[in-house]
Amino acid sequence: MIGVGLTLPQLGPHVTRDAVRSFCKQAEAIGYSSLWVQEHLFFALNPSAPYAARPGMPVPEAYKITYAATELLMAAAAWTETVKIGTGILVGGYHRPVELAQCLSTLDVLSDGRLIAGLSVGWSKDEHDQMDVDFTTRGRRMDELVHALLACWGPDPVNFHGEFFHITDALVSPKPLQQPHPLLMSGMRAEAGLRRTAALFDVWNPASGTLEQIINAVEVINAQRPGGAAPIVVIQRIFPEPPFVVPGLQPLSIEDLSKAVSAANGAGFSEVIIDTSFTTTVHSPQDWMAMPAKLAPLLDAAR
């Protein structure tokens, strides 16, 4: 049986404490496998790079209000007991290894080992500028960030020296509850990103492409895996409503989503994430509270 996860209420004007708390508790009670957050910092009124590296694509309006990723996920961890929690996706350029290691370890310990740590290179030049990170270095900076993060999660004292990060004779704690570390999930999809996924990550989280394209990409990733590494685990992201406007493209019905879940199950994927971040059907906190029950038929499709 494939797992079915949900993105948490995070974007837009109708996210409230009660909405998130109710969403989390209902999702766990109904039987969803995981809860997810994404990371963005602000809404640039005159963005200097297109959304998701798609030329001419405007940034979705939903990003005008975005709740902080790890803080929101910590609340979800506190309000649940068994459902997995995941960062899908943190942007590598907004973090340094010691800070990130501490933050993710804290999440893993306080959730009793339920964390999946998702990372990607990001698409917003404006947000990278805000964090004083050269946008053109984000790929190789990601490589080094992962190596440094794993060093921080390894034995003390930690010593790491690279192009971007230097850690000398440090005790970096807490260590994650999951050993040797929580699963690392990649959200990268470009050719270089697939190579990076093959080399450094445990899980791949494709957010676009047909089923056939995803399966072909998985073959490419596995062909590049280091010797002895397990095949990449796939957690597919499915949007009932996509974050970008495509003429003639209609929102997916429950029947459409059920077919997609069944297809992912047939392809051997570990899990699907139903990403409702860009929904146009939420007009109040109560609509967020109703979302887990509304999508519950997808759990039948997963079985």
For residue 50, cis peptide bond before it (omega within 30 degrees of 0): no
CA distance 285 to 267: 35
User: For residue 230, how many other CB atoms are within 10 A of its CB?
Assistant: 8
**More confidently predicted of 108 and 52:** 108
Identify which of 187, 205, 215 has the alpha carbon closest to the alpha carbon of residue 121: 187
Average pLDDT on 79-108 reads 98
Residue 90 in contact with residue 119, Cβ under 8 Å?
Answer: yes
- Which band of pLDDT confidence, cut at 50, 70 and 90, is reported for residue 85? very high
Look at residue 246 in the predicted model and tell me its pLDDT.
Answer: 64
pLDDT value at 57 more than 90: no
Look at residue 163 in the predicted model and tell me its pLDDT.
Answer: 98
DSSP 2-29: -EEEEEPS-BSTT--HHHHHHHHHHHHH
The number of C-alpha atoms within 13 Å of 111 and in the hemisphere containing its C-beta is 31
pLDDT value at 114 more than 90: yes
Look at residue 247 in the predicted model and tell me its pLDDT.
Answer: 62
Residue type, 299: L
From the CA atom positions of the chain, what is the Rg in Å? 19
Question: Which residue has tokens 């406007």?
Answer: 245
pLDDT digits (tens, 9 = 90+) for 243-259: 876 666 788 999 999 99
Look at residue 248 in the predicted model and tell me its pLDDT.
Answer: 65
pLDDT value at 55 more than 90: no
Look at residue 249 in the predicted model and tell me its pLDDT.
Answer: 72
Residue 52 in contact with residue 46, Cβ under 8 Å?
Answer: no
Q: pLDDT above 70 covers what percent of the chain?
A: 99
Look at residue 280 in the predicted model and tell me its pLDDT.
Answer: 93
pLDDT value at 101 more than 80: yes
Beta pairing partners, 4:
272
pLDDT digits (tens, 9 = 90+) for 260-270: 999 999 999 99
Tokens of 258: 């059920």
List CB contacts of 99: < 8 A, sequence separation 6 or more. Answer: none
Q: Which of 42-46, 89-93, 223-227, 239-243 has the lowest mean pLDDT?
A: 239-243
Domains of the chain: 3-302 (3.20.20.30)
List CB contacts of 78: < 8 A, sequence separation 6 or more. Answer: 110
**Mean pLDDT over the full length of the chain:** 96
pLDDT digits (tens, 9 = 90+) for 163-197: 999 999 999 999 999 999 999 999 999 999 999 99
Q: pTM score, two decimals?
A: 0.96
Look at residue 242 in the predicted model and tell me its pLDDT.
Answer: 85
